[in-house]
Chain A
Amino acid sequence: MPPSVELLYWDGCPSHPAALAELRAALEEIGHPGAPVALSEISSEAQAAQLGFVGSPTIRIDGIDPLPPPPGEPTALTCRLYRRRDGRHSPTPDPADLRDALRRLLPPPTQES
């Protein structure tokens, strides 16, 4: 069974279209072009709490956040804060960090059916 790739987002933050494009680009770069990405909208504080959603966008691979937030980060309907490798703040993950994390969590492309 292929791993599930999920993008959780809150529509009140404008970052998810860019995050989706960057996620798809990272998947392609590591040899998983066209891998399905499930989009899940988080629309209430209760839903955010239930799913441990600390902000938009949040990526999950088989339920695991490839770029986990700091411990104790509160769940919320908000934009999620990421850091680029050069230290800059960003509303989306650093593409290189994302690519490396996906490589760790996804099987090598040769193992795909």
Chain B
Amino acid sequence: MSFAIGALAPNFTLPDTYANATALRDVDSPVTAVVFTCNHCPYALAWHERLQAVARDYGPRGVRILQINSNDAERFPHDSLAAMSARVAAGEFASPYLHDATQEVAHAWGAAVTPDVFVLDTDGRLVYHGAPDADYRDESLAAAWLRDALDAALEHRQPDPAQTEPVGCSIKWRP
């Protein structure tokens, strides 16, 4: 189970695909979205471009989007660090793609599926948890729930909805 709306998000430091350590807490980022995603899940891939569009649109507004792959790459080679790096090199990501090799962050955050979206306010408290929008098949929805949550966090108000049901592939836990 993930932490509650209003709770302080567990901190982390994870490497990106260039092995640069990236910390959750960043004084330059007033609002942060953390998205657990991966390389092989059809739901994550169906929503992928919408999420990158959010990163491109909200980056200039000071929002930081961190995308994390926590899947067990031993059993799911499509989710290896090499495969992550290849996607980044191909220009598929508009924000850092972090590797949670130990799965400690996914466990600490209670992430369950890919994609699983968390939005934090300027205090690092959870203001939204759920899916990017209501339907992975409908690109016109444009990750509306995530965008609404980011707008609300930027304006220091509570998003509505603050919680939706994440839809996607289960995170592939290590045995």
Contact = CB atoms under 8 A, between A and B. Distances in A.
Contacts, number: 41
Contacts of A90: 42, 46, 137
B39 to A, nearest CB: 10
A90 B77 CA distance: 20
Interface in B127-164: 136-137, 139
A81 B77 contact: no
Contacts of A76: 75-76
Given A74-B77, A90-B137, A79 B45 contact: no
A78 B43 CA distance: 12
Given A12-B170, A13-B169, A13-B170, A81 B76 contact: no
A91 interface: yes
Nearest to A79: B169
Contacts of B54: none
Nearest to A88: B46
A32 B169 CA distance: 32
Interface string A87-101: 011110000000000
B25 interface: no
Interface residues of A, number: 16
A91 B137 CA distance: 10
Contacts of B168: 14, 79
A17 to B, nearest CB: 12
- A-side interface mostly: loop
Given A74-B77, A90-B137, A80 B42 contact: yes
B151 to A, nearest CB: 27
Nearest to B175: A45
B172 interface: yes
Interface string B12-47: 000000000000000000000000000011110110
29 contacts: A12-B169, A12-B170, A13-B169, A13-B170, A14-B167, A14-B168, A45-B75, A76-B76, A78-B40, A78-B76, A78-B172, A79-B42, A79-B168, A79-B169, A80-B42, A81-B40, A81-B41, A81-B42, A81-B45, A82-B42, A88-B46, A88-B139, A89-B42, A90-B42, A90-B46, A90-B137, A91-B42, A91-B46, A91-B136
The 5 closest A-B pairs by CB, nearest first: A89-B45, A91-B42, A79-B169, A81-B42, A12-B170
Interface of A: 12-15, 45, 74, 76, 78-82, 88-91
